[in-house]
Amino acid sequence: MKKDRNSFIFRFLLTLLVILAINFFLPRMMPGDPFSTTSADVAGDEIIVMTEEQREYYIGYYGMDKPQYEQFFIYLKNLAAGDLGKSISYKMPVWSVIKIHLPWTILIVLCATALSTFIGVIFGTISAKNRKKSSDRFMMAGMIAFAEIPSFLLGLILLLIFCVYLRMFPLAGAVTPFAVYGGVLDQAWDIMYHAFLPVVTLSFAQLTGVYLLTRNTLITVTSKDYIRTARGKGLGEKIVWNRHALRNALLPVVTRTGFMIGMMMGGAVLVESVFSYPGIGMTLRAAVVGRDYPLIQGILLVLAVSILVCNLTVDKVYQMLDPRVSV
Amino acid sequence: MTILSIEDLKCHYVTDGSVVKAVDGISFDIYEGEIFGIVGESGSGKTTIALEIMGLLPENVNIYGEVVYNGKTISNLSGEERDKFRWKDIAIVFQNGLEVLNPVINVGRQVTEPMIKHLGLSHEEAEKRCMELFEMTGLDSSWMSSYPHQLSGGMRQRALLAMALSCSPKLLILDEVTSALDAFSRKEIRDLLLNLQKECCYTMIVISHDITFVSSVASKIAVMYMGKIVETGPVRDVITSPRHPYSRGLIHSTPDIFIYKDMWGIPGDGFMGGEIPGCPFSPRCTQKTDACTKSAPLLCACGNNGRKIACHRGGIVSLLEAGDLKFCYQLPDKKSLQAVDGVSLDVKEGEVLAVVGQTGSGKSTLAHILAGVMKPQSGEVYFMGEPLCPEGYGSRFNGIQIVFQDPFSSTSSRFTVLDAIKEPLDINKIGTKDERLNMVKDVLGLVRLSSEESFLKKYCGELSGGQRQRVALARAMIMRPKLLIADEITSALDVSTSANVLRLLKGLQNRRGFAMIYISHDLTLTLKIADRIAVMNSGKVVETGNAHDVMLSPSDEYTQRLVGSRIGLCCHTHEAA
């Protein structure tokens, strides 16, 4: 047990180191640097071209005149001390930038996961119960067709319909600017109002996967001997499905959901862009455009860690749900 | 009183247009308090019957016929209505398997579940009852909180049993309860079942391919083959004297019934898919006639003790019947020697009858008479229902052939192998020259001899004893006998050669399905191959019966002496001395 734990920690650290190295070197392999921004992100922006002296001053200031491996070791050393560095474009510590934007992403990702899992499981169950009937075929065809729509396209369509034409939802942002709230409920309502469409868009991207997985595992599970045993005991279809079939069928769904949370954190970037939602994805996009190396590194690190944490949590949760996986 | 009756039940699995008739027209009644056994090879439809009684067959099964429980037809009820009968009235101990219990719910919960549902017990009451059940089935109650994968096969079997008993069902179905267990657990479970049955008076249906187990608990038995019952009746009767060729084959394949005998399964495979127009067993049957391949036989009463059998020929037929045979040699000094003195015996289709006795007891004379080589001075021999004709049955196919003791005198040294083997064809003018050659090559293959040109041209004098005995066997086999009489065929051979010849012979017999009279003075050898034994002394048959009964518990005084005179187990006696 102790040996297992040691090897686990070792593997975890090794993974982390590889991730850190990639995070560090990959942005630097892109053409350009933070101080030679030659194209404007938004049309009409002023293009500022620095003089050679200014450039060199900044390069020296941020320590980029040293060889890259040395910069990497300095980065690791600072990281070990809990310092993610300073954002070049925001002119503030990277951690502070992340702290502002990360919660919004976590909010929409968790809501989207909850929503897609809930609806996916219900639809999957309905479909499995009516297997080979027309309702199942219809549902499955619809779901698969739906899955083929890219999430940013779906986001754009929703944005156009509900925000531009119907004006039911806001075009951008996570909260109403300069709003004064009457209470916590009022504030929560405002947040949900802004998050609604991004959440829906993200959910739809996940829905089909959950639906198909639930449907297929349920169909496999219901052909198992223990379902026949449960039926034989005369427990009634409701208990057979809910207690015996679903509990087993949901095991892979739990695994998938856990992994998806981590993946969606990074994947939210497109959806956040479409809805101009101030999440971590939007920030990452801005950082890449501005070649803000410290910020890119910081965000990628947070995403990587969150994926690792999700995987770890999934393992633990799975152990609690499935007694066959020994603790 | 009838608790369950099944009326012409048919369960047809439909998959992608093809139909598998797992159960094909079965009817039986089970009376209250009875233990009813169903045996058969795997795939014979046993479990399908159990599942249909429980109403658990999948949707792709077309079900015809009726299942009547306590006077109420339950086979046409909906799943919901059937839930009222399930577990409370009819419970099943499912075939043990890793996934027969839900892997993510603890065992105790799975046992208490039906009690809460059907008996309306509270959680605590149900758990208390579960503890009692666990103790009753010999399982420590601490296992209640374990998960199925933590239990061993035997423990899981007990848990399944506890689960089945939880609502005190009136009818208990046991599906292969012992097949995955070791000998100890198997005996424990059997004793437990018998005790429980005495205590609680359950009616039980015991389904298994394990005939030993079924016959040790059941009072009535049904033998199933490909979805049909081929024989049914009281257990003791069916096991000791099976009437259907399939039941006999199944019983002969069971090591516990004939402990010393070599095991030989029923040749051929159960038919897979498609349709057999006639009797389902006909492709593997040794006594089939035209009628057998045309229509399926019905299960008809045979005898008055409730025995029924489905066979066009009324069960295993007698191939050879001999009544009151007598033969007396006149010795030169005017004395006479009564070699065969009023012998009556019969040989059933496809069976091996051994005639044992000491030298001079008249065995060989009897063999010669039965083969038609010698005429009895009185008495009659009937072969396939007809009296033995003067020219005997050796000159035609499907007749009687005899292989003699001494291969050196029974095959001429001056004949080539080819001539020796095709001699009967030449004499009886069967076939053209080429056909004869092909037949010779075929039988040489059967007796595991080379069919090369060079071997065919060898003279019999050049062959070893074992080879020559096999040539003699090939000569008999070329006439495709229905009955082969083997007269001390191994006594002139050394141990290893005789073992090879004997295994070859028994293998041929099993595959070809002919009957055999095996004459020998070697009792140990006899035990290995014989189904029945007739013991001869001074020209009389003093005892006949099932090979093991005769050898292990001989009733006649002479047989006892004969059995006692074996030197066998020599190394053990040395140690004792």
pLDDT tens for each residue of B496-539: 888 888 888 888 888 888 889 999 888 778 888 888 889 988 88
Give the Cα separation of A179 and A189 in Å (integer). Answer: 12
Per the listing, tokens 């089935």 go with B137
**Sign, Cα dihedral of A162, A164, A168, A170:** positive
**Sign, Cα dihedral of B59, B65, B67, B72:** positive
Q: How many domains does chain A have?
A: 1
Assign residue A234 the CATH number of its domain.
1.10.3720.10
Residue A30 forms part of a structural domain: no
User: For A200-209, what is the mean pLDDT?
Assistant: 86
Residue A7 forms part of a structural domain: no
Residue A139 forms part of a structural domain: yes
What's the pLDDT score for residue B221?
A: 92
Q: Point out the residue among A229, A243, A322 whose CB comes nearest to the CB of B100.
A: A229
Please report the ipTM that was assigned to this predicted complex.
0.72
For chain B, the average pLDDT equals 84
By the CB < 8 Å criterion, does B56 face chain A? yes
pLDDT band at A131 (very low <50, low <70, confident <90, very high): confident
Whether residue B491 is predicted with pLDDT greater than 50 in this model: the reply is yes
User: For B347-362, what is the mean pLDDT?
Assistant: 86
Residue A152 forms part of a structural domain: yes
pLDDT tens for each residue of B114-161: 898 888 888 899 899 999 888 888 888 888 888 888 888 888 888 898
Q: What is the least distance, in Å, from the CA of B143 to any CA of chain A?
A: 14
Residue A241 forms part of a structural domain: yes
Contacts 24+ apart (CB under 8 A), B333-338: B338/B538, B338/B539
Where do the domains of chain B lie, and which CATH numbers do they carry?
Answer: 2-89+170-268+276-309 (3.40.50.300), 101-168 (no CATH), 318-572 (3.40.50.300)
**How deeply is B437 buried, as exposed, middle or buried, from its count of CB atoms within 10 A (0-12, 13-18, 19+)?**
middle
Cross-chain residue pair B113–A235, CB shorter than 8 Å:
yes
Query: B28: closest CA among B47, B2, B62?
Result: B2
CB B170 within 8 A of CB B201: no
pLDDT band at A50 (very low <50, low <70, confident <90, very high): low
What's the pLDDT score for residue A101?
A: 87
pLDDT tens for each residue of A218-227: 999 888 889 9
Whether residue B178 is predicted with pLDDT greater than 90 in this model: the reply is no
Q: Furthest-apart CA pair in chain B: how many Å?
A: 97
What's the pLDDT score for residue A40?
A: 45
pLDDT band at A48 (very low <50, low <70, confident <90, very high): low
Domain hosting A229: range is: 104-278
Whether residue B404 is predicted with pLDDT greater than 80 in this model: the reply is yes
pLDDT band at A119 (very low <50, low <70, confident <90, very high): very high
Higher pLDDT: B572 or B29? It is B29
pLDDT band at B568 (very low <50, low <70, confident <90, very high): low
**DSSP code, position B305:** S
pLDDT band at B274 (very low <50, low <70, confident <90, very high): low
Considering A37-46, B59-68, B380-389, the range whose residues carry the highest mean pLDDT is B59-68
**How deeply is A259 buried, as exposed, middle or buried, from its count of CB atoms within 10 A (0-12, 13-18, 19+)?**
middle
By the CB < 8 Å criterion, does B151 face chain A? no
Whether residue A49 is predicted with pLDDT greater than 70 in this model: the reply is no
Whether residue B52 is predicted with pLDDT greater than 80 in this model: the reply is yes
Residue A297 forms part of a structural domain: no
pLDDT tens for each residue of A146-167: 878 887 788 888 888 887 787 7
Identify from A136, A220, A233 which residue to disrupt to test chain B contact, counting B C-beta atoms within 10 A and taking the largest count. Answer: A233
Question: Residue A239 is encoded by which pair of tokens?
Answer: 């208990």
pLDDT tens for each residue of A231-242: 888 888 888 888
Which residues on B lie below 8 Å from A132 (Cβ)?
Answer: none
What's the pLDDT score for residue B270?
A: 62
User: Residues 6 or more apart from A250 whose CB is under 8 A from it?
Assistant: A121, A214, A321
Cross-chain residue pair A234–B114, CB shorter than 8 Å:
yes
Total length of chain A: 327
Residue A165 forms part of a structural domain: yes
Give the Cα separation of B124 and B399 in Å (integer). Answer: 75
User: For B64-68, what is the mean pLDDT?
Assistant: 89
Residue A179 forms part of a structural domain: yes
Q: Is B397 helix (H, G, I), strand (E, B) or coil?
A: coil
Question: Residue B200 is encoded by which pair of tokens?
Answer: 């609680």
Which residues on A lie below 8 Å from B51 (Cβ)?
Answer: 228
By the CB < 8 Å criterion, does B88 face chain A? yes
Rounded to the nearest 5°, which phi and psi values hold at B459? -85, 145
Chain B residue with minimal CA distance to A323?
A: B104
What's the pLDDT score for residue B577?
A: 38
Chain B residue with minimal CA distance to A225?
A: B100
Query: B241: closest CA among B526, B546, B552?
Result: B546
Cross-chain residue pair A234–B85, CB shorter than 8 Å:
yes
pLDDT band at B571 (very low <50, low <70, confident <90, very high): very low
Cross-chain residue pair A324–B149, CB shorter than 8 Å:
yes
